[in-house]
C-alpha cells in the first residue's frame, strides 16, 4: 500500500514516496512528489504496483439540479468504502462531470465521515449505476459511453435490459430455452385472445417494468376476464370490455404476454428464487440466492408489494444447484456474446412449477440490494473484486 494526498482547494494530488513521481488513472497521470505530507491535504491509502497506484473506479450515476448527483446514497457509500478497503479509489460521477483528461465527482471520506468533492484523472474502469431508464435514453449518457469506449475504459453494466430483447437472446441458447415460459410480444388484441384461450392464465408485463410495476395477471374464467395487479382486482364480462378499458395503457409501452406457471408453493403461497450473479475469470456464477414469497393477492413476490422473505435453506432441497449454476453460466455467456458488452453482474428471478420444472421469469442488469445480510456482503465482495480486476487488467 501507498499513501497519496489530495488538496481540496488546489484540486491537486501529491505523494511523498517517489521523487520521479507515481502514476494514477487510465492515462497514467503523474502525481507530483513533495518532501513531506502537504498541509490541508487528505491522505488516501491506495494499492501500489511498481509506480502505479490505485486504480480509480468511477461509479456513474444521475446528475441532480444542485450539480451533485442522485442515487441510493447508502448503496453508493457501501461500494466506495469497500473499494477503499481494497486499495482502490472510488469516485461517484455523472455524465456532466467528465472532461477530456479528468473527472470531477464525489467520494465518501471515512476519516471525516462525510462526502467530499474531488477531481481525479480519468478512471481505470466505470460501473454504471444510472438509476432510471429515461436517463440512459438521454444523449449525454450515449455520448459519455462512447467517450469511455474511445478511451478504452471498461464500462459495465451497459444499460437496463429490455425483457423482450433478453427473451429473444436467451431462446437462442439450447440449454436455456427449455427453462423459458412461452412468451410473445403483445401487439394486438388477437395476441391476447390466442394466448388466453391456450393458457387460461397469463402475465402481462411491461418490457421495461421493474419491482412489480406494470404487471398484470389475467385469468379466463369461462368468458369472464379477471384482471389482477399488485393494487387492484377487477373482472370484465368479455375480452372486448376489458380491451376498451386497458387498450390505451398497453399502447404506451411494449408489453409481453407470458404463460403463467402453476407454481410450487410454500405454506400455500407461491415463491420465487432471486439469484445474484457476478462474473469471475471463467464466467458468471452465483453470489447468493434469496427467496421471495407472494403476498395475499399472489400477483407478485416483491416485498414492497406485499411479498415476504424466507431463508433459502427452507426450499433448498427442491432445487438442483448444479442446474442453477449451469443456467447462470450459460445466460451470462449468451448475453455477453450477443450484446458485445461486458456484463459484470445480473440477477435472475426464477420459479419451480408444481411438477418440479424450473422456469426463468426475468433477468435484471442492475440487481436489487438484497435484504439478506450474507448475500449483500458476498455480492459486495465479488463486485469489488470484479471492479478492481477489470480496472487493473484494462
pLDDT tens column, 94-108 = 999 999 899 999 999
Assess contact for 283 and 329: CB atoms under 8 A: yes
Question: Where does 2-156 sit in CATH, by number?
Answer: 3.40.50
Strands 358-364 and 345-352: antiparallel
Q: By the 8 A CB rule, do 339 and 158 touch?
A: yes
Amino acid 191: pLDDT: 85
Q: Which three cell numbers stand for residue 384?
A: 469489488
pLDDT, residue 394, reads 64
Helix, strand or coil, per DSSP, at residue 345: strand
Sign (positive or negative) of CA dihedral 364, 199, 192, 293: negative
Q: Are 349 and 274 in contact (CB under 8 A)?
A: yes
- How crowded is residue 357: how many other Cβ atoms within 10 Å of its Cβ? 13
Within 10 angstroms of residue 50's Cβ, the number of other Cβ atoms is 8
What confidence score (pLDDT) does residue 233 get? Answer: 85
Same fold, 2-156 and 163-179+263-365: no
CATH number assigned to the domain covering 163-179+263-365: 3.30.470.20
Residue ranges for the chain with pLDDT beneath 70: 211-212, 296-306, 394
Predicted pLDDT of residue 393: 84
CA–CA dist 223, 239 (Å, integer): 8
DSSP state of 373: H
Domain ranges of the chain: 2-156, 163-179+263-365, 183-259
pLDDT of residue 228: 86
What is the per-residue pLDDT for 229?
82
Angle, vertex CA 236, rays to CA 235 and CA 239, nearest 5: 130
DSSP reduced 3-state for 369 = coil
pTM of the model: 0.92
Say if residues 370 and 347 touch (Cβ distance below 8 Å): no
What's the pLDDT at 40?
Answer: 84
Question: What is the model's pLDDT at position 331?
Answer: 98
pLDDT tens readout for residues 48-92? 999 999 999 999 999 988 778 999 999 999 999 999 999 999 999
Return the closest-CA partner of residue 50 out of 387, 388, 394, 392: 392
pLDDT of residue 109: 96
Specify the length of the chain in residues: 394
Sheet arrangement for strand 102-109: 114-121, 102-109, 89-93, 56-60, 125-128, 155-156
Amino acid at each position: 500500500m501507498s499513501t497519496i494526498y489530495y488538496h481540496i482547494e488546489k484540486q491537486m494530488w501529491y505523494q511523498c514516496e517517489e521523487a520521479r513521481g507515481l502514476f494514477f488513472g487510465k492515462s497514467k497521470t503523474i502525481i507530483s512528489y513533495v518532501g513531506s505530507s502537504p498541509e490541508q491535504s487528505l491522505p488516501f491509502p491506495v494499492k501500489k504496483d511498481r509506480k502505479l497506484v490505485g486504480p480509480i473506479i468511477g461509479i456513474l450515476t444521475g446528475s441532480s439540479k444542485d450539480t451533485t448527483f442522485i442515487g441510493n446514497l447508502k448503496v453508493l457509500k457501501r461500494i466506495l468504502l469497500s473499494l477503499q478497503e481494497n486499495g482502490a479509489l472510488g469516485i461517484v460521477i455523472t455524465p456532466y462531470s467528465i472532461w477530456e483528461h479528468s473527472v470531477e465527482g464525489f467520494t465518501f471520506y471515512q476519516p471525516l465521515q462525510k462526502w467530499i468533492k474531488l477531481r481525479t484523472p480519468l478512471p481505470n474502469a466505470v460501473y454504471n449505476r444510472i438509476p432510471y431508464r429515461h436517463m440512459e435514453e438521454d444523449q449525454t449518457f450515449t455520448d459519455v459511453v462512447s467517450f469511455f469506449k474511445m478511451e478504452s475504459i471498461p464500462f459495465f453494466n451497459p444499460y437496463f435490459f429490455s425483457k423482450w430483447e433478453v427473451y429473444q437472446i436467451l431462446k437462442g441458447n439450447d440449454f436455456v430455452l427449455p427453462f423459458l415460459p412461452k412468451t410473445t410480444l403483445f401487439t394486438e388484441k388477437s395476441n391476447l385472445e390466442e394466448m388466453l384461450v391456450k393458457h387460461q392464465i397469463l402475465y402481462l408485463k411491461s418490457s421495461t417494468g421493474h419491482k412489480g410495476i406494470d404487471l398484470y395477471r389475467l385469468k379466463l374464467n369461462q368468458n369472464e376476464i379477471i384482471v389482477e395487479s399488485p393494487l387492484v382486482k377487477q373482472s370484465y364480462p368479455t375480452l372486448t370490455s376489458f380491451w376498451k378499458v386497458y387498450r390505451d395503457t398497453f399502447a404506451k409501452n411494449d408489453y409481453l404476454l407470458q404463460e403463467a406457471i402453476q407454481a410450487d408453493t410454500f405454506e400455500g403461497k407461491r415463491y420465487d428464487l432471486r439469484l445474484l450473479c457476478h462474473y469471475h475469470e471463467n464466467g458468471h456464477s452465483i453470489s447468493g440466492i434469496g427467496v421471495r414469497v407472494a403476498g395475499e393477492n399472489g400477483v407478485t413476490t416483491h416485498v414492497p408489494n406485499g411479498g415476504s422473505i424466507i431463508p433459502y435453506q427452507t426450499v433448498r432441497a427442491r432445487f438442483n444447484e448444479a442446474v442453477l449454476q449451469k443456467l447462470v453460466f450459460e445466460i451470462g455467456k449468451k448475453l455477453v456474446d450477443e450484446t458485445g458488452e461486458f456484463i459484470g453482474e445480473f440477477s435472475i428471478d426464477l420459479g419451480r412449477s408444481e411438477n418440479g420444472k424450473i422456469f426463468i421469469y426475468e433477468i435484471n442488469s442492475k440487481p436489487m440490494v438484497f435484504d439478506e445480510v450474507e448475500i449483500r456482503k458476498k455480492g459486495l465482495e465479488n463486485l469489488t473484486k470484479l471492479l478492481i480486476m477489470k480496472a487493473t487488467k484494462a
